Structure 1
Amino acid sequence: MEIDTTKPHIGRVYDYVLGGHHNYEVDRRAATEIMKLVPTYPKWAKLNRWFIQLVGQQWSEAGITSVLDVGSGLPTQGHLNDYLPEARILFSDIDPVSVIYGEEILADKPNMRYLQADLRDPSPLLAAAAQFFGADRRIALGCIGIMYMMDEESSRDLLRKMHAFCAPGSVLALSFLVPRGASAAHHLNSAGALAGIKVYPRTPEEMAALIKPWKVHACRPLAAWLDLEDFLTQEEYESSPFDMLGLIAHH
């Protein structure tokens, strides 16, 4: 796998703002510039990671044994593998750095694998998942921190194919950005461009329509999921061009 260290990658930028070390100078520069436009970015990143941890804890308590996580980033900083150590987990990401380090982190865990995958063409990932999970298709699907970087067509195609792959009783967890104000999309994309991505904020109604035939079970702000409504000050929240929501859906 070739690693391009001349361009920032949003997964490594995310790792940096979480306090991780699997990033390059180009990622750290991008993070600094993004925080000039969105000063609360590190707080949103932490809320997103804490939501992953909450989901992992809930899935553990529910006895989940099979997990497919897409756009995983690095399985550090308290990822699903920490909360579901006995589960079969298939992680995936398009970033080769995340894949290489992920493979190293999971090397002593035969029940977990990490694959490189482009979610715009999920067929190779689903083929690997069919081999990895075998006949057990009652799966917990993680799409946390990825849907706001995918356009409508790719998102709909991914989630429909995942629904067809999974058996009844499966569950989906995702997070998404909700625009706040008329200039929100422009503001977000100015920041996203610094990490080489386009950002797609959506309303809860738009997201519910996009994920069909998955059925929304619960959808609320990440701060409400985590009982951290005061984590962002009123001034920080009002100045943010977006809110961040977590959604749980059932097959």
Structure 2
Amino acid sequence: MSVADEEWTQRGIDVNTPSVARLYDYYLGGKDNFPSDRLAAEEILSVVPEVRIAARENRAFLGRAVRFLAEEGIEQFLDIGTGLPTQGNVHEVAQEIRPDARVAYIDNDPIVLAHARALLRGIKGEVTVASGDLRQPEEILQTPEVRKHLDFSKPVAVLLVAIMHFITEADDPRRIVTTLRDALPSGSYLVLSHGTHDNRTEAAKKGTKVYERANSPLVLRSRTEIRELFDGFELVNPGLVWLPEWRPDDFPLYDDPSQALIVCGVGRKP
């Protein structure tokens, strides 16, 4: 165990159980991960090598969606399951277009929170970081940092990017999204991306088995099930599509968009 690993262990962090946030960081080429994460990630990549590119496509979709929303006039963002900070964070993209855009980052991973707070320490006013678990959306909505930072009488964009596929059926994903939707005023948006088993079924099963050792299981759903999470929202063009198909501004990294493994969409609350 390295000195850094020992420091996290002393702070009560389990460095031996793979974390979905740190796995994602590894796929993106980050360094905020531990040996347990790297071993699990490489096992997944040996079965589904497209996962690394899918992670990059997912990050690119997030940037395009935030840019679209800012151009549509959205100035408030609630990013749940934000993950470890990297290039093109939500506040950076939004504030290029709307300098006064306000972003609340929510995560339940202590390492994510520590890194996010360190990164954002010098940013005044427009950004806040808070601990919260997507499985308890009511608590997130009542978190003092969120209530103080965002005005729910005005449109808010809720970002659930590559996070809902870590919510089991026992946690009732539809209830979670409905709770968030009902708290939003008209003109708000939902940004969602979600892994699906509609493509490469056998590889998806093997990858899912690896995630059983992580701090959250991977629950892949059908496109129909994912579309149901947008109930109460009007999908903006081009609808629910593979990641590289959502308003691309560059050439895709591969010819078959289904190799992105994840579908995505943006919905507006009427």
Give the TM-score of the pair, scaled to structure 1: 0.89
Give the structure 1 partner of residue 85 of structure 2.
75
Contact 1:75 1:81 in 2 (8 A): no
Give the structure 2 partner of residue 177 of structure 1.
195
Contact 1:35 1:41 in 2 (8 A): yes
CA distance in 1, matches of 2:39, 2:201: 28
1:190 equivalenced with 2:204 (yes/no):
no
Alignment match of 2:129 (pick from 114, 126, 140): 114
Residues 84 and 2 from structure 1, CA distance in 2 versus in 1: closer, same or farther, beyond 3 angstroms?
Answer: farther
Matched AA of 1:4: D
CA distance in 1, matches of 2:46, 2:223: 27
Contact 1:33 1:194 in 2 (8 A): no
> The residue matched to 1:67 in structure 2 has which SS?
strand
Cα displacement string for residues 163-193 of structure 1 (whole angstroms, at most 9, x for unaligned residues)? 1111000011110122225546523312322
1:98 equivalenced with 2:112 (yes/no):
yes
State the shift of 1:45 in Å: 0.5
State the shift of 1:40 in Å: 1.3
Unaligned residue ranges in structure 1 (runs of 5+): none
1:220 equivalenced with 2:220 (yes/no):
no
Give the structure 1 partner of residue 224 of structure 2.
205
Query: Structure 1 residues 29-38 or 195-204, which shifts more?
Result: 195-204
Residues 40 and 165 from structure 1, CA distance in 2 versus in 1: closer, same or farther, beyond 3 angstroms?
Answer: same
CA distance in 1, matches of 2:44, 2:72: 38
Cα displacement string for residues 71-105 of structure 1 (whole angstroms, at most 9, x for unaligned residues)? 10023221212111331100111111001110111
Give the structure 1 partner of residue 38 of structure 2.
28
Matched AA of 2:105: F
Residues 57 and 17 from structure 1, CA distance in 2 versus in 1: closer, same or farther, beyond 3 angstroms?
Answer: same
Query: Structure 1 residues 171-180 or 181-190, which shifts more?
Result: 181-190
Give the structure 1 partner of residue 262 of structure 2.
244
Contact 1:120 1:158 in 2 (8 A): yes
1:232 equivalenced with 2:247 (yes/no):
no
CA distance in 2, matches of 1:5, 1:194: 13
Alignment of 1:117-136 (within 5 A): 117-128=132-143, 129-136=146-153
Residues 123 and 2 from structure 1, CA distance in 2 versus in 1: closer, same or farther, beyond 3 angstroms?
Answer: farther
Alignment match of 1:166 (pick from 160, 184, 188): 184
1:143 equivalenced with 2:160 (yes/no):
yes
> The residue matched to 1:31 in structure 2 has which SS?
helix
Contact 1:5 1:26 in 2 (8 A): yes
Unaligned residue ranges in structure 2 (runs of 5+): 1-10
State the shift of 1:233 in Å: 5.1
Query: Structure 1 residues 95-104 or 144-153, which shifts more?
Result: 144-153
CA distance in 2, matches of 1:24, 1:228: 33
Q: How many positions carry a matched residue from both structures? A: 247
RMSD: 2.2
Residues 47 and 177 from structure 1, CA distance in 2 versus in 1: closer, same or farther, beyond 3 angstroms?
Answer: same
Residues 27 and 184 from structure 1, CA distance in 2 versus in 1: closer, same or farther, beyond 3 angstroms?
Answer: closer
Alignment of 1:48-67 (within 5 A): 48-67=58-77
State the shift of 1:42 in Å: 0.5
Cα displacement string for residues 16-61 of structure 1 (whole angstroms, at most 9, x for unaligned residues)? 1211122222212221111112111110100001111111211221
Contact 1:34 1:194 in 2 (8 A): no
Give the TM-score of the pair, scaled to structure 2: 0.83
Residues 190 and 135 from structure 1, CA distance in 2 versus in 1: closer, same or farther, beyond 3 angstroms?
Answer: closer
Q: Among the aligned pairs, what percent are the same residue?
A: 26
Query: Structure 1 residues 201-210 or 28-37, which shifts more?
Result: 201-210
CA distance in 1, matches of 2:191, 2:24: 19
Contact 2:162 2:195 in 1 (8 A): no
